[in-house]
Structure 1
Amino acid sequence: MAEESVQRWKGTVSTKLEKAREEQAWPLVKDFFNLHKRYPTLPTCYGVHGTNGEPGCIRYCAGSTIPSNDVSESVSWSKERLVAVDDADRSIKYEIVESNIGFKSYEATMKIIESSDDGSNGCVIEWSFEVEPVEGWVFEDLLRKYHKGLQLMGTKMEEEIATMVNGDC
């Protein structure tokens, strides 16, 4: 029996944190249940199962930047499971297990990378994803949305790290 091959969208976006080192940014990325604190266009994120930062935990995220496929709901939401955490590699992998935004078999990785291009203390956040195409969506628009969101997240993370370093927490 032949299997039908489904083409998948694969994308990677990144942003550089000029004022944060890898070891400062990593705990913020690993803080799986609190994405809303760093991702300005996501007003709601909280844990619904398991221990924050431990594989198998599930978070609920809700917002409006990616439209819902359900016209009866004005808020887009997803439940996301943390699949893997690699402290040595400073990366997390997660998947969407349920949503109303049309993603099927969505998998993503967020990773902190040393910024060795200019010798600065900064680091880079890389966010890659793979998902089956969503009817009515354009891949490039989704990629732009992710890139803009990650840039905003990087800015919020630098602000949070600066506050912690200055002892204002």
Structure 2
Amino acid sequence: MENRSSMAKWEGKVTTTLTKASANEIWPLFIDFFNFHKWFPNLSTCYGVHGLNGEVGATRYCAGFALPNNDGSIEQVSWSKERLVAVDTNKMSMSYEMVDCNVGFKSYLSTIKIVPTGAKGCLVEWSFEVDPIEGLTYEFLVQKYQNGLDQAAKKMEDALVQIKQDL
């Protein structure tokens, strides 16, 4: 069996299920491309640098989450510029690519899909394809994505539940 570290591309998908927020409620929070820092853990800033928020071609700057240095020691704060390359509002799907960063991501493409699971729930899928990243393992990256998605989706769901209670 081939070691994931030597694969030409790392491909993965993480999912999380929400039971208190519908796909129609969650989708607008994900497509708000320039404001993802409101939801994603340890992402201190995210803002638009080009185009219209949520439209193909829109580019955002993100910073604040940390990854280990190549030697596994102290973490460095990462930043990236990411561009929306596809949006399908009917299928609640968006894809974006990383166009620049400081932590070794190369040839990065990610897709987020919101799948209805009933009137009050949904499944969030986050898939990625990236060249192997020096100093990281595939397993570490998948776990980082899973933790981030779980926390972001929970924060979104909690905010939507609070809004409903306040009405």
Distance 1:67 1:161 in 2: 33
Q: Using the TM superposition, give the Cα deviation of residue 65 of structure 1 relative to its aligned residue in structure 2, in angstroms.
A: 2.5
Q: In angstroms, what is the RMSD of aligned CA positions?
A: 1.9
> Could you tell me how far apart the structure 2 residues matched to 1:120 and 1:23 are?
9
Contact 2:57/2:83 (8 A) holds in 1: yes
**Structure 1 residue 40: deviation in Å?**
2.0
Distance (whole Å) between structure 2 residues aligned to residue 64 and residue 87 of structure 1:
28
Aligned residue number for residue 38 of structure 1: 39
Show the counterpart of 1:130: 129
Task: Give distance in 2, aligned partners of 1:132 and 1:123.
Answer: 30
In structure 2, the residue matched to 1:155 is 154
AA at the equivalent of 1:85: V
Using the alignment, how far apart are the partners of 1:12 and 1:151 within structure 2? 13
2:6 pairs with 1:9? no
Letter in 1 for 2:54: G
Quote the Cα distance in structure 1 between the aligned partners of 2:86 and 2:22. 22
Q: TM-score, normalised by structure 2?
A: 0.88
State the match for 2:51 in structure 1: 50
The one-character-per-residue Cα deviations of 1:17-44 (angstroms, maximum 9, x if unpaired) are: 1100010001001110011001122111
In the alignment of these two chains, the number of paired residues is 158
Answer yes or no: is the 8 Å Cα contact 1:14–1:126 preserved in 2: yes
Q: Give the ranges of 4+ consecutive aligned residues of structure 1 lying more than 3 Å apart after TM superposition.
A: none
Please report the TM-score for the alignment, with normalisation by the length of structure 1: 0.87
Alignment of 1:61-100 (within 5 A): 61-67=62-68, 74-100=76-102
- As a proportion of its length, which structure holds more strand? 2
Structure 2: which 5+ runs fail to align? 1-6
Q: Would the aligned equivalents of 1:13 and 1:128 in 2 still touch at CA under 8 Å? A: yes
1:166 corresponding residue in structure 2: 165
Q: Quote how far apart the aligned CAs of 1:64 are.
A: 3.0
Separation of aligned partners in 1, 2:64 and 2:36:
12
Q: Could you say what secondary structure the match of 1:35 adopts?
A: helix
Report deviation, 1:75: 2.3
